[in-house]
């Protein structure tokens, strides 16, 4: 919790790469995906508790804003997900 991780996948990679989190239970999960023209894909996944959402937002800004490769990538998506305690 209160961490982020990244994985890059290249077209020539033969093994599957996995990035995951679990036990959100009210926390905020954020996934940033981008794909370059070369076919290289990058995914960053974060998991932050409700009291540190501003830290997560700052980390995302630091990841995306200065990174011209993400801005110029052919495909990009940002997904936000929150899980409740009762789920």
Count structural domains, the chain: 1
**Whether 54 contacts 42, CB under 8 Å:** no
Higher-scoring residue by pLDDT: 1, 34: 34
Confidence of residue 7 (pLDDT cuts 50, 70, 90): confident
Q: pLDDT tens digit string along 48-79?
A: 888 887 887 787 777 766 666 666 777 766 66
Domain for residue 87, yes or no? no
- pLDDT tens, 8-56? 889 899 998 888 888 878 788 888 888 888 888 888 888 888 888 788 7
Q: What is the pLDDT of residue 84?
A: 57
Q: Tell me which residue range forms the domain holding 30.
A: 3-11+20-82
Shortest CA distance to 19 belongs to which of 33, 2, 38? Answer: 33
Tell me which H or E stretch contains 2.
none
Sequence-distant (≥ 6) Cβ neighbours of residue 9 within 8 angstroms? 17, 40, 41, 42, 43
């Amino acid at each position: 919790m209160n961490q982020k991780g990244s994985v890059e996948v290249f077209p020539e990679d033969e093994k599957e790469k996995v990035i995951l989190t679990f036990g959100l239970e009210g926390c905020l999960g954020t996934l940033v995906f981008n794909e370059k023209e070369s076919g290289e894909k990058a995914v960053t996944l974060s998991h932050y508790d409700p009291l540190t959402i501003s830290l997560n937002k700052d980390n995302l800004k630091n990841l995306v804003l200065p990174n011209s490769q993400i801005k110029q990538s052919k495909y990009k998506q940002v997904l936000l997900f929150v899980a409740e305690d009762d789920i």
